[in-house]
């Protein structure tokens, strides 16, 4: 698209070769999916379908490829949800803010669940943090509202 001087995303991948009636020079194709991917997958902010409206939040950030940091927020009916993660070598630092009167299930990417820390303490010993389970590649916690800083090894 760029090599053919497009200034917007075309409706079709081959937008300049299809029938003229099928072409759109200003189409929001993929925008919804792309935005959703940024918030739900990279930043990890998801609504729990069993608790609509972000009463319970699913937090599942993805550290992919050589991406080093992500920062995002969502203004839910209960307040602002924010995530901010940075990868430095094999270390991950994950800042998370959960609004009042809500809870969250947080999946922390790690190769060693026992090494996950929250605000400098072993995560399962930190106030307001309860270990749910360890699975290959992550540790899963239940947390209440508040601000958290998780650290893990990738």
Q: What tens digit of pLDDT does each residue of 76-101 get? A: 999 999 999 999 999 999 999 999 99
Q: What is the pLDDT of residue 11?
A: 65
CA terminus-to-terminus distance, the chain: 36
Q: What domains lie within the chain, and their CATH numbers? A: 1-42 (no CATH), 46-153 (2.60.420.10)
Helix H, strand E, coil C: the string for the chain is: CHHHCCCCCCCCCCCCCCCHHHCCCCCCCCHHHHHHHHHHHHCCEEECCCCHHHCEEEECCCCCCCCCEEEEEEEECCEEEEEEEEEECCEEEEEEEEEEEEEEEEEEECCCHHHCEECCEEHHHCCCEEEEEEECCEEEEEEEEEEEEEEEEC
Q: How confident is the model at residue 23 (pLDDT cuts 50, 70, 90)?
A: low
pLDDT over 90 percentage in the chain? 73
* pLDDT of 13 over the 70 cut: no
Q: What is the mean pLDDT of residues 133-144?
A: 96
């Amino acid at each position: 698209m760029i090599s053919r001087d497009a200034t917007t995303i075309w409706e079709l991948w081959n937008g300049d070769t299809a029938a003229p009636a099928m072409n759109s020079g200003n189409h929001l194709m993929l925008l919804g999916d792309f935005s959703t991917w940024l918030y739900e997958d990279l930043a990890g902010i998801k609504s729990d379908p069993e608790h609509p409206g972000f009463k319970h939040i699913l937090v599942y950030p993805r550290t992919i490829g050589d991406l080093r940091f992500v920062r995002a927020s969502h203004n839910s009916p209960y307040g602002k949800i924010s995530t901010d993660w940075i990868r430095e070598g094999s270390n991950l630092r994950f800042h998370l803010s959960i609004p009042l009167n809500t809870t969250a299930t947080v999946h922390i990417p790690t190769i060693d669940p026992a090494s996950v820390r929250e605000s400098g303490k072993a995560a399962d010993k930190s106030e307001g943090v309860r270990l749910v389970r360890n699975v290959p590649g992550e540790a899963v916690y239940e947390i209440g509202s508040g601000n958290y800083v998780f650290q893990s090894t990738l």
